[in-house]
Amino acid sequence: MKKHLTRGLSIGVMLYASSAFSLPLYDVVVALDGSADFKSVQQAIDSAPSDGSPYVVYIRNGVYQEKLQVKRDNVYLIGEDRDKTIITATTANSMLKPNGKKFGTTGSRTVNVDAKDFSARSLTIENGFDFPANQAKSADDPTRQRGTQAVALYVGKKGERVQFKDVNLRSYQDTLYLRGGHSYFDQSQISGTVDFIFGHGTGLFENSNIVARNRNDVKTGNAYGYMTAPATNIDHEYGLVFKNCHLSKEAGVPANSYGLGRPWHPTTRFTDGRYADPDAIGHSAYLNCEMDDHIYGWDKMSGKDINKNKIWFHPEDSRFWEYASRGAGAKTNLEKRPQLSQQQAEKYTTSNILAGWQPSISLGDNSQLKGEVLHRSMQFPASILVKDSLGKTLTSNTDAQGRYQLSITGMTPPLLVSANDNSGESCLRSETQRSLCASALVVEVNNQGETLGNVNPFSDLIVSSLAKTEGINGPQLLVSADKLPAFSHKAWQTATENFQQTFAELAAQQGISQSFDPVSYDAKLHPLMTSISQQVVHNRAYKTSTGLAAQTSLTDLSFKPIINLASIPEYTIDGIQLAESQQALKSAATRLFIVGDSTASNYEADVYPRMGWGQALDQLLADNPKLMVVNAARSGRSSRDYINGRWFSEMGSLVQAGDYLFIQFSHNDEKCNGAKKKRGPIDVANLCTYPNTPEGQPQFPQGKSEYSFQHSLERYLAFAKEKQLHPVLLTSVPRAKTAKKKLGVPLNPVQHVTKKRSDGGYQFYGSYTQTVKDTAKANHVPLLDMQSKVIAAANQKGEDVWKTYWLAVDPAEYPFYKNRTGRLDKPDTTHFQQTGAEVVAKLVLKEIKSNRDLSALAEKL
């Protein structure tokens, strides 16, 4: 088998393939509005590297007025949408070029493909010549064109291994001209009237719609047109072959008005003269095709003999065949509609028709996808969904070890593989518990062979990066989309290289010298990939404006981020550090786990000096040999969503008896105003829990106790009891606002309280701070009242101290905040910068030491 080095991938991801083809990831983008690399498709093609390497052009929606020339091998055009990405020109045979000569049939074409290994999908190619309007003109009208051939697509003599999928070819007379080589069309639409699929070349058409167009210039009883006009040389066994196609018609086309084809013997220059080619014994065949009532059978066609006299060529002298036709146009008169036998039909394989070439735009019959799902928290068996670039989906299941295999015949790469362990209601929504899910994008496919599509946290990060590059917020939205967008080759390459560079040293330490990626690694790398997959916490973030799962999140086992916030995230560790974090967690005598929201959580270095108090506490106790802080707080989470969004489930395998569990929620639980514009109903569905009544009674909609803040907190207490942990409840830290809702001190002493509103947005309201106290008292759990302690500390420091505690920074010093909340003129009164986080962390330590119920913990500080 041939080794194929992925274009541009410097570390050397290898593809072992039995059939090489262009990677279906775009190199450049074309957009009419000037927002992309090029404004014209021709400019993009002309800018391709001269080395003949695969070159993919992504064309955004628009009408491109171009007569396109493709003479470079290995070009792949991908349109954004078949019916909205249109390449068009208006040129008919008898129109004149600038030099005064007629264009002729060949010159009339909109797109000329005269190269090898060309591919195109999801676009329209049309010749905009208005045939009906032309025919409506009077015979003496000087603007009436006599030569009405108007080719949309011409595959020239050098055209070979040319493939199309999900394309629309549209004209009237002579829409598609296959002059040379072998061409393949799948799931496409071709429309026309006279001889609108014709030529000398071999073309295989599968699963396509062949549309006969209406016209108003035909006398009653005469033919409207002919589907094909093959000029196949007698030495070539196959010409124009249609399998599993639908021969349909436009409205107004009468019954018995279109022929399946007629024999074209093109006038050709020979040594003894110029006349109809006697060796052009055309071949057209229809197998398993649906035919509407406009089809009447085959027809004859005229030509010129050596003396320029008209002669007729008849269908019975050609190679015209049908097999298993059906529908109103399927008449089986054996004399006029010759039928293939079953034995003959079985020879019409893709390989036979296309002389051994297997198009890769639709994967062949022997194409298989297999892989393994590696994830520290997933349950197996899991469901597998494979989606191709045009939206075709296949499903399967893994075995108990997470392995799967299935056929991918007919699919169009790249392929998105999604694994869902079905432990929740959905991979995308989190009103209730979300499933654990991960994905991988399979770019390099072994056509007619076996392809690896492994799924793990690192492959999911690559998908997340590619989604973000295309303006899509997370892998699961790709899984839910009708079809996949085109993906950037550069983004895929960068994301893959980021992984390779991070884990290359770790692999080398285990005696593995080859580079590898998280999707196509082979069996001998299984132990390494299993190990590092077990050493990360993988999940997906939450998009506040939609309530849906978003981009991939990766942390080590102590919940410290291991990727930055770049569009294509870089790893902020090396692979060895994952194992070190795992070992530290395992060997620590006692661990203090923190669950909560953004006021406590860890942050990437990108957003410094923003910091959560839990992050600061971890740093303060970093050298403590008796206690390890595991700060699992997450930004934007409420007590309910922290569980439904599957952050809390990561705790189960990490905690051990005797550990401490600090629980601090409120900020996002308060988001219960259903009348708030845009986000209100989303917040209520996903984040909201309701506080207790003034009498200390839980409040929640009937039958939905999970909407009670107290009941939600008690789920954490139940977990602590089950795992023999020491739970501690903390009231939420305050916001930097006064009682009059102004910025600064003295801080409002009444915080985290919702009140009845005139818009009726709150179904229940009350004090979240008091609810935390109620819950601690009812369950006999230690309480740290951090709200009152932070208020007192801030007030004591005076007028402007809040600007050094909460996030109010100079964007000249911290450019990240140039256009974000948290800068001096637009401070963030909820989140802390480093100084404030450290103040809160020290207050937490002080409260632990002063709480008699936590004396055992205090001894470890």
Catalytic residue among 73, 174, 517, 774: 174
| Nearest-angstrom CA–CA distance, 118 and 163 | 6
List the structure tokens of 366.
């022997």
Report which residue type is found at 787: Q
Question: Quick one: tokens of 209?
Answer: 């719609």
> Tokens for 87?
């390449």
Q: How far apart are CA 350 and CA 336, in angstroms?
A: 27
Q: How far apart are CA 90 and CA 70, in angstroms?
A: 18
Burial 295-324 (b: 16+ CB within 10 A, else e): bbbbbebebeeeeeeeeebebeebbbbbbe
CB 782 within 8 A of CB 729: yes
Q: Are 160 and 116 in contact (CB under 8 A)?
A: yes
101: which 2 tokens?
């000569």
H or E segment and range at residue 802: helix 802-805
Going by C-alpha positions, the residue among 553, 641, 531, 652 that lies closest to residue 602 is 553
Q: Give the integer Cα–Cα distance in Å for 119 and 56.
A: 9
- What is the layout of strands, in order, in the sheet containing 228-230? 68-70, 111-113, 153-155, 176-178, 197-199, 228-230
Enumerate long-range contacts of 757-761, CB under 8 Å, 24 or more apart: 757/673, 757/675, 759/675, 760/675, 761/672, 761/673, 761/674, 761/675, 761/676, 761/680
Would you call 254 exposed, middle or buried from its count of C-beta atoms within 10 A (0-12, 13-18, 19+)?
middle
Q: Is 195 a catalytic residue?
A: yes
User: What is the identity of the amino acid at 76?
Assistant: Y
For residues 207 and 187, the answer to whether their CB atoms sit within 8 Å is: yes
Among 114, 166, 195, 659, the one annotated catalytic: 195
Helices (H) and strands (E) in the chain, counts: 19, 47
**Burial class of residue 267 (count of CB atoms within 10 Å of its CB; 0-12, 13-18, 19+):** exposed
Closest CA to 113 of 61, 59, 76: 76
Q: In the structure encoding, which two tokens stand for residue 556, read together?
A: 């080590």
Largest CA distance in the chain: 116
Catalytic residue annotation: 174, 195
